[in-house]
């Protein structure tokens, strides 16, 4: 499964109504640290196919969702279970730390 791209139209169906955990990377194209973790997020999307949905949400195009989940800095990554946020981190973490975060919370 490739990365899912979220927006205001599909957030409810893909995240809030999902029966599997969803990792959402809140990012912006102009953000350097966001670009640093993008390949890691893509790699982990492949690793967790079928177990965890991995998605990206551009905060410039969905600022209402960023505000709703108190995203004040990017990248912010939030793991949702049962449609609710259960854990988060901000900043560009190394691949093993992001992998551990997913494993611990999913």
Catalytic residue among 6, 15, 31, 55: 31
Q: Is 20 a catalytic residue?
A: no
Catalytic residue among 15, 22, 23, 34: 34
For residue 93 the two structure tokens come to 């973490």
Q: Is 31 a catalytic residue?
A: yes
Distance (Å, whole) CA 62 – CA 24? 13
Residue with tokens 């955990």: 21
User: Which of the residues are catalytic?
Assistant: 31, 34
């Amino acid at each position: 499964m490739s990365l899912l791209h979220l927006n205001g139209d599909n957030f409810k169906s893909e995240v809030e109504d999902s029966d599997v955990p969803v990792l959402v990377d809140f990012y912006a194209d102009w953000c350097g640290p966001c670009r640093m973790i993008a390949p890691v997020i893509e790699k982990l999307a492949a690793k967790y196919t079928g177990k965890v949905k991995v998605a990206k949400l551009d905060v410039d195009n969905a600022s209402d969702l960023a505000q709703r989940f108190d995203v004040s800095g990017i990248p912010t990554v939030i793991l949702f279970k049962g449609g609710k946020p259960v854990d988060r981190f901000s900043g560009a973490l190394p691949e093993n730390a992001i992998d551990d975060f997913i494993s611990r919370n999913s």
